Amino acid sequence: MWLFLKNLFFAVLVPGTVAVWLPLWIGGGFRRVTDYGLPQVLGLALVTAGLATILAAIFFFGTKGRGTPAVFDPPVQLVVRGPHRYLRNPMYASVVLTTLGWALFFKSWTLAVYAGIAWLVFHAFVTLVEEPGLRQRFGADYEAYCRSVRRWLPGRGYSTTG
């Protein structure tokens, strides 16, 4: 139960702030949108897909990794299931996808730029901090995973059988 609560807290605090609360604030909130057309439908589809993937990734961090996505409370097992089977950084990629969905929904170039800046920050953090730490903690298993699964674009999937 404690692990679930820690993951829930992380989900609301970090991706919730970056992918939901800040974009809604920057976009001006739902009352700002007076006409609902294709951009809003496509935007909400991206937001839904992004948030669902974030929640799935957090679920697998807790159930398979026995930890949280937080740097100070990482999983003790390498997570290669769920969204991580197809993408090394599904949470970061999904935050960007969600933010791009909000950009479409609000027809906001500011949010599109925000999504680009978020991706640049994520990329720097992943390459300079996260990946070196994962290589150190999980060694050859992480190296094999990196050879099979792309960092930012989904691929064919990681095989846990060989």
Q: pLDDT by residue for the chain (162 residues), tens digit each?
A: 776 777 777 777 788 899 999 999 999 988 888 888 999 999 999 999 999 999 999 888 888 888 777 777 778 899 999 999 999 999 999 999 999 999 999 999 999 999 999 999 999 999 999 999 999 999 999 999 999 999 999 988 877 654
Give the range of the structural domain holding residue 118, as residue numbers without chain letter: 2-148
Task: Tell me the CATH number at 16.
Answer: 1.20.120.1630
H or E element in which residue 81 lies: none
Instruction: Count structural domains, the chain.
Output: 1
Residue 160 lies in a domain: no
What's the confidence (pLDDT) of residue 62?
83
| 153 found inside a domain | no
Residue 161, domain member (yes or no): no
The pLDDT of residue 16 is 85
Q: Report yes or no on 157 lying in a domain.
A: no
In a domain, residue 12? The reply is yes
Tokens of 46: 């991206």
Let me know if residue 114 belongs to a domain: yes
- pLDDT (0 to 100) of residue 162: 45
- DSSP-derived secondary structure letter, 20: I
Residue 159: inside a domain, yes or no? no
- Asked if the structure places residue 96 within a domain, the reply is yes
Long-range contacts of 36-41, Cβ-Cβ distance < 8 Å, separation of 24 or more: 39/104, 39/105, 39/107, 40/104, 40/105
